[in-house]
Chain A
Amino acid sequence: MMPPSRERYHTVVVGAGIVGLFTAYHLARAGVGPVLVVDRGFLSGGASGRNGGGVRQQWETAATVRLARESVDAYRRFGGEFGYNIWFRQGGYLFLAESPNELERLRRVRTVVEREGLRSRELTRSEIPRYANGLELDGVVGGTFLQSDGTLYPFPAIWGLYETVRSLGVEVLLGAEATGVSASQGKVRGLHLATGPVATDAVVNAAGGWSSEFSRRCGLAPSNTPTRHEILATEPLKPFLDPMVVRLSDGLYFSQTMRGEIVGGLTLSHPPGTAPGMPSSARFLRAMSRALTQLVPRLATLGILRAWSGFYDDTPDGLPLIGEDPRLIGFFQANGFGGHGFMLAPASTRRVAQAVLGQPSDLDPALFGPGRFLGPPRERPVEGAQLG
């Protein structure tokens, strides 16, 4: 493994996924000193290369809707700015409710979304076929639809960012595992790599599913936990499905990619923790196949091309951790996205960069601050829209 080229960096970002690379991009654009990004694995080997590509703005908390909306704008401009086509297609997100309670939840989300100036629609069961083909709607009572939500192709977003940050002078070291920080007087002084230490005053923890482990290695008890989630892709079909479809009852979500594959998963509780090798399970293949063929019977004969798994990086309230950790000056959290890092990265990482630069941010620390779980437990808002 190659050691870093310098002894000292302005900021070291741990994790070269969508969050880490976007953070490095904002820092480089702000013209700070040298920036280093390290990653223990290969490019796109974590959740940034394992997600279903959904980008939605329908959330229960207004602040998250705003981050998502800003991120959608960023993805619309991505091809022009970063040189790679991410095929961001605004085919909409269609949520399906199977009970009055679920419909009520969708309506609450819709109220928040509309208040933020987005035009979402409530659909009766008979209106749904106009938005999505081939669904068997027995049991569905209604849904909501937001046209400006969509799907993208995650890999090229990583390539575009990787090449852009490097052209801006950011150093990216792959296969370089960060093992901890050195600190004195409650301040970050450097980072430990397998090849030796590097000096820096700012470390950004953007390690996704490994970020709680990295916090722990830095002596900070984490408030996030990785949970394994599985996903599959089918053989490609000619396009027939425009939106991402999400069913509230079991968290089933699926969309049709630009290549024609159906890509999706569903919520299946796995024991928390980090299973080595991130395997798939027969249980998921069975549950997902059942759910998908029940909702779209015409997919029954379609072949499963591959199934894989990755981590959601979950927090107790469903909101990410963004900003400086109050326990260690110079240690910035940019994690806890709960499987939604890709959708929120462009806007969230601007706030991470602002925190590193000591600039004021518009984020409410009570909602997103990494210190919000410290101290005695108290009532706080929860983001319940943890699907798709």
Chain B
Amino acid sequence: MATVELLFSALPEHVRTARLVAAAVARRAGVDEAVLDEVRLAVGEACSRAVGLHASHGISTPVRVVLTEDEKKFSIEVADDAPRPAAVAAALSAAAGAASGAPRGEAVPEEGVLGGEDDMGLAVISGLVDDVEVTAGESGGLIRMSWPTTPAPEAA
């Protein structure tokens, strides 16, 4: 069961609200203070992307954000209703996988990455979040991210 679920009209002015809510719930869930900026940025990127997709597809349904607090992790799911052909969905997921698997700090954007804000948003998410999954299909897309809520014990 979701801790907090948020539905907002797919308009740019509401993305800030989603960031603030996500950061507040993450803080309460025990996500490290130092990581809250990353949570804020990642959820903002995911929501901006969803808003853009709804606008470009002329979709009037709201964007869904589900914030879930588990025992050891805090998860955020951002779902859009923009349909993607199967080929695009497969390419997206492969791109996100490749980006998240790359060593941190070594990614150099190609011209194509800078050309699309959609792609740059995904690049930022992949660079920020270790545990991220991007899926998309004919009924819409989903970005799932999670952060640990308890720090790993220090090795003595």
Indicate whether A and B interact: no
